[in-house]
Amino acid sequence: MRFFIDTANLDQIREANDLGVLDGVTTNPSLMAKEGIKGEANIKQHYVDICNIVKGDISAEVIATDFEGMIREGKELAALHEQIVVKVPCTKEGIKAIKYFTDNGIRTNCTLVFSVGQALLAAKAGATYVSPFIGRLDDVSTDGVELIRQIVDVYNYYEYGTQVLAASIRHTMHIVQCLEAGADVATCPLDAILGLLKHPLTDIGLAKFLEDYKKVNG
């Protein structure tokens, strides 16, 4: 399973990238707004800055909700950098836009996916990635990880090429569950990635190793 970081914060992106295990970045309009990135030129420059930090796929989301607007924005975003993947919401217009992008060699991430039916349409349209939002399903008493499992099964059975990108991951356990469910990618907050490192027995064991070393070596 590949790791993306789900943020527009450049410091966090650098920190995750420095770990050496980062495969890409996802952003969305809310994450860009959280960092105070506003205005078309600044937003585009921010995507380029991210591409210059991480060598991997970088999702950049369209704002338009109509087909023509999505196509215009998506082409502009894709032209920014070869690593850009155009993120498109899973709506009727969005599916049409994804099909257009597929036919024109532009890679896509179908976002805001909450059901197997939506994932089916994304795959049929040729999306590079499909992004089921597992945390937001958990928020409404629905098992988000189970949706990942179902989509992975269906895609494997019918041999769809679309990769399952588990999104809206809130904590470390979500990452482990997505791994077990067969997700191709998990896009995670930095805290959740770093949380994978945490184990008290590691800390206790390391302290003991260092203590024993000092006993002999001074």
Active-site annotation, residues: 87
Residues between 6 and 45 with contacts to ligand G3P, criterion CB under 6 A: 6, 26, 28, 31
Confirm or reject binding of residue 69 to ligand G3P (CB under 6 A): no
Which of 16, 187, 192, 193 binds ligand G3P (CB under 6 A)? It is 187
What is the spatial distance between Cα 3 and Cα 168, in angstroms, rounded to a whole number? 13
Binding mask 71-110 vs ligand G3P (x if CB under 6 A, - otherwise)?
A: ----------------------------------------
204: tokens are: 């206790």
Contacts 24+ apart (CB under 8 A), 76-79: 76/44, 77/44, 77/47, 78/106, 78/107
CB of residue 27 to ligand G3P, shortest distance in Å? 8
Which of 53, 81, 91, 135 binds ligand G3P (CB under 6 A)? It is 135
Q: Which stretch binds ligand G3P (CB under 6 A): 38-46, 118-126, 133-141, 144-152?
A: 133-141
Confirm or reject binding of residue 168 to ligand G3P (CB under 6 A): yes
What is the spatial distance between Cα 19 and Cα 73, in angstroms, rounded to a whole number? 33
Of the pair 70, 167, the CB lying nearest ligand G3P is at 167
Confirm or reject binding of residue 129 to ligand G3P (CB under 6 A): no
Q: For the beta carbon of residue 215, count every other beta carbon within 10 angstroms.
A: 8
What is the spatial distance between Cα 26 and Cα 132, in angstroms, rounded to a whole number? 13
Q: Cβ neighbours of residue 209 under 8 Å, at least 6 residues apart?
A: none
CB of residue 64 to ligand G3P, shortest distance in Å? 19
CB of residue 96 to ligand G3P, shortest distance in Å? 22
CB of residue 99 to ligand G3P, shortest distance in Å? 23
CA dist list (Å): 207 to 15, 32, 213:
25, 41, 10
Output the DSSP codes for 136-155.
Answer: HHHHTT--HHHHHHHHHHHH
**Contacting residues toward ligand G3P, per CB under 6 A:** 6, 26, 28, 31, 133, 135-136, 167-168, 170, 187
